Amino acid sequence: GAHRDLLSFPTRRSSDLPVLRRLPEVVVNRIAAGEVIERPAAVVRELVENALDAGASRIDVTLRDGGCSLLQVVDNGRGMTADELTLAVERHATSKLPDDDLVNIRSLGFRGEALPSIGAVSRMTITSRARGSDAAWALQVEGGKQLPIAPAALPEGTRIEVRDLFFATPARLKFLKTPRTESEHVRDVLERLAMAHPGVAFS
């Protein structure tokens, strides 16, 4: 009986089968964002760890609506050139594995996932001025779409503004708590990072 049942199923033509294809980069980044970015506190952790890896001695974090409408991290680290800024928002681009050695990792992050993932689900602006440079540059990414890089004004270091978090993935907005709760999560992340790095000034 089971054998006859199997034979009775309609056969699928090869034209009905789904086609194997490479996902667009924007979709890949949004999938990655689901793994990397759960809530505003996760964005803060990723950006502050980047600032620490950049050698910052001061890191200022600004929130609005628990980080959902605005989240800004400013540091006085080594900053980035225009070319580095453009590369920083591409997946798996990192300065933290200079010799591809996965054993001796000496940085807080190294996968090159954070910035493209954040940019895929928000309106992100990165402004940076490399140490020793007389020029700053700004790069905007809106829902994964990169806009042309432009000259900007900034002291040495980096400022990252993340606005309208999860506007590009509305389903994730349902999982966010009240602004007060999200702010408390951010505060918890910052306190842990600050205790682990007593030589860095946080606000």
Mean pLDDT for the stretch of residues 102-131: 76
Q: 68: closest CA among 146, 148, 174, 157?
A: 174
85-103 mean pLDDT: 62
Summarize pLDDT for 135-155 with one digit per residue, the tens.
999 999 999 899 999 999 999
Helices marked H in the chain:
2-8, 25-36, 40-53, 82-88, 114-120, 170-173, 179-196
* For residue 29, pLDDT beyond 80: no
Statement: residue 103 has pLDDT above 60: no
Rg (alpha carbons) of the chain, rounded to whole number = 21
Q: Using 50, 70 and 90 to split pLDDT, how confident is the model at 31?
A: low
pTM for the structure as a whole: 0.77
% of the chain exceeding 70 in pLDDT: 78
pLDDT at 159 (0 to 100): 98
